[in-house]
């Protein structure tokens, strides 16, 4: 099975490395980052794991900057930041054959729509992942946290291609389940990100810090509640019965983590704010639902994106 991953950063490298251990054909990684491509081709991909003393080097991988060198795949996984999905699929078009499924496990809203600008919706499989990875440098990542991957067809069917992808992931040690409600899944995860990411980015606190301050816990609840209202208006069936309580639980369970949005701000990189809190604001406006807390958080994060971490010291 020929697997291509578009976006070989932290998560693309993690999935690429794990999958490369169970495929005969090398996993192909497509990225615009030249040093990453060179390093992976020269020395393989090194994965540090919190639970093992020695890093493991994966070599059954080939990295590319040009999709024409890869050709059509049997499965493409998209792992660029969600703001770049549409562009990356457009420029990576050559890796999609007539029947190639495109799987998105990215965070935020709009990835499906971004892929659908280039490919038919029927080619898209979506899902969420509770795996975590950190990029340490070219050719090197840390597998920072393990958790379930859940995938589903947009029409809720349990198709052979979905089962094949889930089987493959499970064989690779990436625990994976199938869901008939992928839209609900995406929103479940979105609401957690809505509650945690922007607030940690603005306050420079680790996830657990949000629960230590009453004011912030209230803002978390308000941001998530606005999202729940928007989800309700759109007819999304959430799988999580109480998204505010669930977000608080995630905050507590990942108390020592720096959210990806905080990491992006501290490193002066663009964030996914437009696809997270900004998406609640946009979707809310379309349905006549006000989302003022998400509006303020979006503007604050955009301000920090512009001014960088230098305006305030790191946490
Ligand atoms: P990352 O920034 O580490 O990696 C993204 C990669 O995409 C980079 O290497 C970048 O060079 C590459 N890229 C950019 N434009 C491209 C293009 N046009 N074509 C090909 N490659 C391109 O990001 P990440 O942390 O791996 O996150 C990817 C997605 O997964 C995000 O939506 C994120 O929210 C989600 N996610 C991340 C984690 C995590 O622990 N890191 C966990 C769950 C979900």
92-116 residue pLDDT tens? 999 999 999 999 999 999 999 999 9
Do 133 and 210 lie in a common domain? no
Residue 175 is predicted with a pLDDT of 98
Q: What is the CATH number of the domain that holds 129?
A: 3.40.50.720
pLDDT for the residue 311: 53
Residue 140 and residue 231 in one domain: no
pLDDT tens digit sequence for 224-246 = 999 999 999 999 999 999 999 99
The closest residue, in CA terms, to atom 40 on ligand 1 is 132
Q: Is residue 197 part of a domain?
A: yes
**Which residue, 156, 180, 204, sits at the end of a domain?**
180
Average pLDDT, the chain: 96
Predicted local distance difference test score (pLDDT) of residue 309 = 60
Q: What is the pLDDT of residue 308?
A: 74
190 pLDDT exceeds 80? yes
Residue 163 has pLDDT above 70, yes or no: yes
Per-residue pLDDT at 52? 85
Looking at residue 50, its pLDDT comes to 81
For the cut 80, the answer to whether the pLDDT of residue 315 exceeds it is: no
Query: Is 125 part of a structural domain of the chain?
Result: yes
Do 234 and 274 belong to one domain? yes
User: Tens digit of pLDDT for each residue in 21-62?
Assistant: 999 999 999 999 999 999 999 999 999 998 888 999 999 999
Pick the last residue of a domain from 180, 209, 241.
180
Which residue of 79, 112, 114, 272 sits with most ligand 1 atoms within 8 Å of its CB, as the best mutation to test the pocket?
A: 79
Would residue 313 count as lying in a domain? no
What pTM did the predictor assign?
Answer: 0.96
Residues 20 and 164 in one domain: yes
pLDDT value of position 226? 98
* DSSP line for the chain: --EEEE--SHHHHHHHHHHHTT-SSPEEEE-S-HHHHHHHHHH-EEEEETTEEEEEEE-SEEEES-GGGT---SEEEE-S-GGGHHHHHHHTGGG--TT--EEE--SSS-HHHHHHTTS-GGGEEEEEE--EEEEEETTEEEEEE---EEEEETT----HHHHHHHHHHHHTT--EEE-S-HHHHHHHHHHHHHHHHHHHHHHT--GGGGGGSHHHHHHHHHHHHHHHHHHHHHT---S-S-HHHHHHHHHHHTTTPPPHHHHHHHTT---SGGGTHHHHHHHHHHTT---HHHHHHHHHHHHHHHH-GGGS---
Residue 313 has pLDDT above 70, yes or no: no
Cα of 213 to ligand 1 centre, how many Å?
Answer: 31
- Average pLDDT on 280-285 reads 98
Pocket-testing residue among 31, 143, 192, 273, ligand 1, by greatest number of atoms within 8 A of Cβ: 31
225 and 170 in a single domain? The answer is no
Residue 289 Cβ inside 6 Å of ligand 1? The answer reads no
Tell me what pLDDT residue 221 has. 98
Q: Count of domains in the chain? A: 2
Q: Are residues 192 and 161 in the same domain?
A: no
Of the residues 38, 148, 189, 306, only one is catalytic, namely: 189
Say yes or no: 159 and 73 in one domain: yes
277 and 155 share a domain? no
């Amino acid at each position: 099975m020929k697997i291509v991953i578009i976006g070989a950063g932290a998560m693309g490298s993690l999935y690429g490395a794990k999958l490369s251990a169970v495929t005969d054909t090398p996993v192909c990684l497509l990225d615009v980052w030249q040093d990453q491509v060179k390093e992976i081709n020269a020395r393989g991909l090194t994965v540090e794991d919190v639970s093992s003393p020695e890093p493991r080097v994966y070599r059954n991988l080939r990295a590319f900057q040009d999709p024409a060198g890869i050709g059509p795949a049997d499965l493409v996984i998209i792992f660029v930041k969600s703001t770049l999905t549409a562009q990356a699929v457009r420029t990576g078009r050559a890796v999609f054959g007539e029947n190639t499924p495109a799987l998105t496990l990215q965070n935020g809203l709009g990835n499906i729509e971004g892929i659908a600008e280039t490919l038919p919706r029927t080619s898209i499989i979506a899902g969420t992942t509770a795996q975590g990875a950190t990029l340490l440098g070219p050719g090197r990542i840390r597998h920072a946290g393990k958790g379930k991957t859940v995938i589903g067809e947009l029409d809720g069917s349990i198709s052979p291609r979905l089962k094949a992808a889930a089987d493959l992931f499970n064989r690779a040690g990436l625990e994976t389940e199938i869901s008939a409600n992928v839209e609900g899944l995406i929103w479940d995860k979105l609401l957690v990100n809505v509650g945690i990411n922007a607030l940690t980015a603005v306050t420079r606190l680790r996830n657990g810090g949000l629960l230590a301050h009453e004011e912030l816990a209230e803002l978390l609840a308000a941001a998530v509640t606005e999202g729940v209202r928007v989800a309700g208006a759109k007819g999304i069936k959430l799988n999580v019965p109480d998204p505010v309580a669930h977000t608080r639980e995630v905050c507590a369970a990942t108390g020592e983590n720096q959210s990806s949005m905080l990491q992006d701000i501290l490193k002066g990189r663009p964030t996914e704010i437009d696809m997270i809190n900004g998406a609640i604001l946009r979707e809310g406006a379309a349905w006549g639902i006000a989302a003022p807390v998400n509006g303020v958080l979006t503007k604050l994060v955009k301000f920090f994106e512009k001014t960088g971490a230098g305006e305030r010291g790191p946490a």
